[in-house]
Amino acid sequence: MDIAALIAWVITALGGFYMLGTWLSRGGAKAGHSRLPVPVLFGHFALAAVGLVVWIGYVLTQKAALAWTAFGLLVPVALLGFTMLARWLPVHRARTAAAAAATADAAGQQPEPAERYFPVPVVAGHGLFAVVTVVLVLLTALKIGGS
């Protein structure tokens, strides 16, 4: 189960890297219109990366303390992720409404937030694999299932 958690974590990270790259390439915080606070975004990224390194340490050593540390790191990662999801949803809804209306004059529009360019399947996949990762890490730390 520890390898399954590692695979899920890596897949989650790939989705996160894609969204981070999209956000940065579209101006990120520089554009001034992002609804994603920089400390939340980079805190989510940093804690998830540190947690992944700790999890790799667990996979290599099978020390229970590392499994629990990785899980402990995932709790704030998940909370920050939910915070960003809650702040992204209105941006996504506004884009959908604007596309449906298609009446706004391009010259009069506010610049779009960078996170408006996140593909819904990537956001959904990132969230789904994140939940799977948390569950697998918790089950492994509790020694439920195979390791």
pTM of the model: 0.86
What's residue 145's pLDDT?
81
- CA dist., res. 129 & res. 91, Å (int): 22
Mean pLDDT of 43-72: 97
Q: Residues 5-45: pLDDT tens digits?
A: 999 999 999 999 999 999 999 888 886 678 899 999 999 99
98 or 146, greater pLDDT:
146
**Phi-psi category of residue 141: left, alpha or beta, with phi > 0 → left and psi -120 to 50 → alpha:** alpha
- CA dist., res. 141 & res. 69, Å (int): 9
Gap between the terminal Cα atoms of the chain: 5
Q: State residue 16 phi and psi, 5-degree precision.
A: -65, -40
Contact between 117 and 26 under an 8 Å Cβ cutoff? The reply is yes
Helix axes 64-101, 120-141, angle to 10 degrees: 160
- Percent of the chain scoring above 70 in pLDDT: 86
Contact between 70 and 54 under an 8 Å Cβ cutoff? The reply is yes
- CA dist., res. 44 & res. 84, Å (int): 9
DSSP per-residue letters across 73-134:
HHHHHHHHHHHHHHHHHHHHHHHHHHHHH--S-GGGSPPPPGGGG--HHHHHHHHHHHHHHH
